[in-house]
Structure 1
Amino acid sequence: MADLVLKMSISIDGFVAAARPDSDWMFRGSTPDSAAWVRDVLAGAGTHVVGRRLFETWIGLWPTSESPMAAPINDAPKVVVTRQADFDLAGLSAGISPSSGPASWAETRVVTEFGEIERLKAEPGDYLLAQGGVSFARSLIAAGLVDEYRFAVLPVVLGSGEALFAGLPDELDLRLVSSTVFAGGAMGNVYRP
């Protein structure tokens, strides 16, 4: 079975989105060793499971990017989770071809129910890596689908914003599996329920 791993950047005061939309908080603590950790998390995924809004950003960025982060995203299959039954994946991916970008983007599939994620988890293979906005992440947590959390904990206090675990129906106990401290003060923390 494949685990569902949720990867998020998080401030030391527990926010995954800043109140100020123009804040660069996610990038201020980045160093080569922290970037390598993120790249390894991306590369270990058998499938990337992303929310619709993040996918719409990604498809305009990663297929033609030369960033070291692009290859592990481009090379793996992608699943877009959306509540929009009329989501136009074909329109978004029409411009992606082997000559203009990785073919794996054109092969992306859309799911509208978490039952599809449960079926993916039942298949053998490398972990499913979930990324997206706070509401997408909260939905996965509330549905009990997350087997592991990989947090890039940044040495930033936001004071306000969107807290990942706010509004969940019950308490959640997590066990720290590993913690890596990076040169810029960020940490890579891995937790399991």
Structure 2
Amino acid sequence: MASLVLKMSVSLDGYVATLDGSSDWIAAGDSDDTLDWTVQTVSDAGAHLMGATTYAVMAAYYPNDSGPFAKPMNDIPKVVFSHSLTSADWDETTIAAGDLAESIKRLKQEHSDGYLLAHGGARFARSLVETGLIDEYRLLVHPAVLGAGERIFPVPLTLEPKSTTVFSGGAVAHVFAAQP
């Protein structure tokens, strides 16, 4: 059975998105070792899970990209959770339109290669957190303070630290196991 991993970029003050949707803050702390860690996380996935908004952004970019994320993003199967999408043009993509928790449980049973890697949008990530089905959180904390924005933790959680990696540019990756 596959585990569900949520990978998110987070500001020092706990936000995952700005109110205006800008994403330039995510570049804070970038370095080659941060890139290597992120590419490895993406490459080791058995499937990529995302909401419709993240799908639209990624599907418009990765099929024509040749950067380090292109191969894993294009080759590894993708599942888009949406009640409005009826088709997906990006290769290796299926749409899950049913109940989020039931779909996640089914995908965990179906996949045995790698983990299911959820890519947020804040709203999709919050919905996943609320299901209680996330097994591991990989939070890349950037040296940026947003002051306001969107958070992903709507409920209290108990998390067990698994690892912390400090990168040369100042970003820090915290990996936590979810506790029941």
TM-score, normalised via structure 1 length: 0.86
How many residue pairs end up in the alignment?
A: 175
- 1:34 corresponding residue in structure 2: 34
- 2:60 corresponding residue in structure 1: 60
Identical amino acids, percent of aligned pairs = 44
Counterpart mapping for 1:102-121 below 5 A: 105-112=90-97, 113-114=99-100, 115-121=102-108
Amino acid at match of 2:92: E
Does 2:6 match 1:6?
yes
Task: Determine if contact 2:29/2:142 at 8 Å carries over to the other structure.
Answer: yes
- 1:182 corresponding residue in structure 2: 167
Task: Determine if contact 2:74/2:92 at 8 Å carries over to the other structure.
Answer: no
2:57 aligns to what SS in structure 1? helix
Does 2:157 match 1:172?
yes
TM-score, normalised via structure 2 length: 0.92
**2:86 aligns with one of 85, 88, 92:** 88
Separation in 1 of the partners of 2:177 and 2:83? Answer: 27
- 1:156 corresponding residue in structure 2: 144
List runs of 5+ in structure 1 lacking aligned partners: 94-104
Separation in 1 of the partners of 2:163 and 2:71? Answer: 25
**What displacement does 1:41 show?**
0.3
Task: Determine if contact 1:80/1:109 at 8 Å carries over to the other structure.
Answer: yes
- 1:137 corresponding residue in structure 2: 125
**What displacement does 1:83 show?**
2.5
Kindly provide the CA deviation profile for residues 150-192 of structure 1, in whole angstroms up to 9, marking residues without a partner as x.
Answer: 0111011111111121x33xx2111110010001110111011
Q: Which runs of 4+ in 1 moved over 6 A?
A: none
Separation in 2 of the partners of 1:150 and 1:77? Answer: 20
Separation in 1 of the partners of 2:173 and 2:121? Answer: 19
Alpha carbons of 1:76 and 1:23: their partners in 2 closer, same or farther (altered >3 Å)?
A: closer
**What displacement does 1:20 show?**
3.9
**What displacement does 1:121 show?**
0.5
**What displacement does 1:12 show?**
1.1
**What displacement does 1:30 show?**
0.7
Amino acid at match of 2:70: A
